[in-house]
Amino acid sequence: MTLLFVELLNRLDKKKKCLCDNPFICLKGFAIFLFGFVMEQLFTEVLKNTVGRLRPNFFDVCRPDFSRIDCSQGYITNYTCTNDEHAASILRNSHQSFPSGHAAFSMYTAMYLIFYVQKRLNISYSHILKPTMQAALLLVALLCCVTRITDFVHHTSDVTAGIILGVIVACAVFYSLGTKCLNVRECTKASNSEDKERNSTPTLTGCQTTLTLLQNEFTLQRQPDSFSSEYQNRNSNSANV
C-alpha cells in the first residue's frame, strides 16, 4: 500500500508530473522487497536454529522437571517439559530467541520503505510529507521491536540483533537493486533534453525576423547604386548645358 500511495502522490503533482514514468514501477519495488524479505528470513532462521537461545518465557512455556536436572553439570541440554498446554511447535520455538524475527522483519520493512519514499517521492506541493512518512514508518517499526521486550518474548540483545540484521539487509538490497530499477531521474533528464532541443530549434517568429533583417540589408545595399546613377545623370545634364 505504501508503494502505491507514493506513486499516487507523484501523479497528483501537476508541476512535476512526468508522462514517461512507468506506471508499474511499484511492482518492481514490490518484487525487490520480496527478494529482500526472503534474504532476511533466511538469515534469521539460520541464526535461530544455530544459536538456540532460550526465550525469557521459556520456563513458563516448558515448565521443565527440575527433579531430573542436575544443576552441577553446568549448561543443561537434556530436560523434560511437563507443560501439556502448548503444542510441540511452540515448545520448539521457545528456544529460538536469537535474533528477533519480528524486529528484523519490521525494521527491514521500515527501512526499505523509507529508502523507497526517499528515492521515488518527488512532489512540490508539500515539503514535510516525505519526512513525516519516513518518521511514521520508523516509529511503527520501533514500537514493534519494543513490544517484543515488554511481552517477555525476546531479550534486549535479541531485538538489537534483529534491528541490525533488518537494517543491513534493507541497505544491501535497496542500494544494489533498488537504485538501478527505481530510477526517478530518467524523466527529468528526458525533459531537459527536450527543452534543449526546443531552445536550439528556431521558431517561426525567429525565421520571420531573420528574413526581415535580410530584406532590410538587401534594400540598404541597393540604395547607394540608385543614388550614384541619379548623380551621374545630373552631372551629364549640367555638362550638356
**64 pairs with which residues across the strands?**
81
- DSSP character at residue 24: T
Residue 154 bears catalytic tag: yes
- Of residues 86, 102, 127, 155, which has the active-site annotation? 102
Amino acid at 230: E
For residue 171, is it within any domain?
A: yes
pLDDT at 201: 47
What is the number of structural domains in the chain? 1
Specify whether the backbone of 123 is left (phi greater than 0), alpha (psi in -120 to 50) or beta. Answer: beta
For residues 13-22, average pLDDT? 57
Question: In terms of residue numbers, what domain contains 155?
Answer: 2-9+26-53+96-189
For residues 208-218, average pLDDT? 59
pLDDT digits (tens, 9 = 90+) for 176-210: 988 877 765 544 444 455 455 555 544 444 555 55
For residue 195, is it within any domain?
A: no
List helix spans (H) across 54-100: 58-62, 88-93
- Model pTM score: 0.72
Residue 95 bears catalytic tag: no
For residue 196, is it within any domain?
A: no
Is the confidence at residue 98, as pLDDT, over 50?
Answer: yes
Amino acid at 241: V
Question: How many other CB atoms are found less than 10 A from the CB of residue 104?
Answer: 28
For residue 176, is it within any domain?
A: yes
For residue 108, is it within any domain?
A: yes
For residue 156, is it within any domain?
A: yes
For residue 240, is it within any domain?
A: no
For residue 17, is it within any domain?
A: no
- Of residues 86, 95, 127, 154, which has the active-site annotation? 154
